[in-house]
């Protein structure tokens, strides 16, 4: 077995252990099968699109550290785990506060203009404002979807009305990829926090 094979096997085993472990309510969040597909029992989704991380290492370490004070503040203010906030930022912008998507989402947590206005974020390129507004929005989605993290993440990406219309994570590849990507990073950040 090569070093790369061991790393892949270790990642798969870690992800399986993390997602099969019961959460605070004793429910299973989800798991990744041997083909790399995500499954979320109880969320109305049979499988999520395959996700492979771009790199086995976390890039932008200096940026990750630079934003931790604001992430901890947002976590305390809105009751969202700091590791989940980190995972959303990593998946959305890779900690680049200048990031702009094709659809016009901006900043660390990739806020759409309407969402930024709704969350009272005047300058979404400002890291502090973006983290606070994005976390506030994520907290509202977690409440709306009864702390079902995969559903709240799907709503963060596709919009809550679309998720409610389907009653599950929508069969939209971008959204399914996003949920899998965030959950992957969420597992990594939780492991680092231990």
27 flagged as catalytic: no
pLDDT of residue 64: 73
SS3 content of the chain, % helix, strand, coil (to 5): 55, 5, 35
Q: Is residue 17 part of a domain?
A: no
Q: Is residue 15 part of a domain?
A: no
**Which CATH number do you get for residue 69?**
1.10.530.10
Q: Is residue 8 part of a domain?
A: no
Q: Is residue 1 part of a domain?
A: no
Q: Is residue 79 part of a domain?
A: yes
Given a cut of 80, is residue 109 above it in pLDDT?
yes
The residue among 4, 45, 86 whose CA lies nearest residue 172 is: 45
Annotated active-site residue in 61, 62, 92, 194:
92
Given a cut of 90, is residue 4 above it in pLDDT?
no
CB atoms under 10 Å from CB of 94, counted, come to: 15
| pLDDT band for position 23 (cuts 50, 70, 90) | very low
d(CA 12, CA 126): 36
Q: Which has the higher per-residue pLDDT, 77 or 9?
A: 77
Q: Are 177 and 82 in contact (CB under 8 A)?
A: no
d(CA 56, CA 18): 17
Q: Residue 104's domain spans which residues?
A: 59-193
pLDDT of residue 60: 57
Q: Is residue 187 part of a domain?
A: yes
How many residues are recorded in the chain? 194
- Work out the angle between the directed axes of helices 149-158 and 82-93 (0-180°, nearest 10): 40
Q: Which of 17-26, 72-81, 89-98 is predicted least confidently?
A: 17-26
Q: Which residues contact 167 (CB under 8 A, 6 or more apart)?
A: 44
Structural domain tally of the chain?
1
Q: Is residue 65 part of a domain?
A: yes
d(CA 80, CA 183): 14
């Amino acid at each position: 077995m090569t070093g790369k094979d061991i790393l892949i096997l270790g990642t798969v085993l870690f992800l399986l252990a993390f997602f099969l472990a019961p959460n605070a309510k004793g429910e299973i969040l989800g798991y990744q099968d041997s083909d790399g597909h995500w499954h979320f029992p109880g969320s109305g989704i049979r499988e999520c699109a395959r996700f492979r991380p771009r790199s086995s290492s976390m890039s932008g370490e200096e940026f990750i550290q630079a934003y931790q004070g604001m992430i901890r503040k947002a976590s305390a203010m809105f009751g969202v785990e700091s590791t989940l906030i980190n995972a959303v930022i990593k998946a959305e912008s890779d900690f680049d506060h200048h990031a702009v998507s094709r659809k016009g989402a901006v900043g660390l947590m990739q806020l759409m203009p309407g969402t930024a206005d709704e969350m009272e974020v005047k300058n979404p390129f400002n890291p502090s404002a973006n983290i606070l507004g994005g976390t506030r929005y994520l907290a509202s989605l977690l409440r709306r979807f009864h702390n079902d993290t995969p559903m709240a993440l799907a709503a963060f990406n596709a919009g809550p009305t679309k998720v409610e219309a389907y009653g599950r994570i929508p069969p939209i590849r971008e959204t399914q990829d996003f949920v899998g990507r965030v959950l992957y990073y969420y597992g990594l950040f939780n492991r680092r926090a231990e």
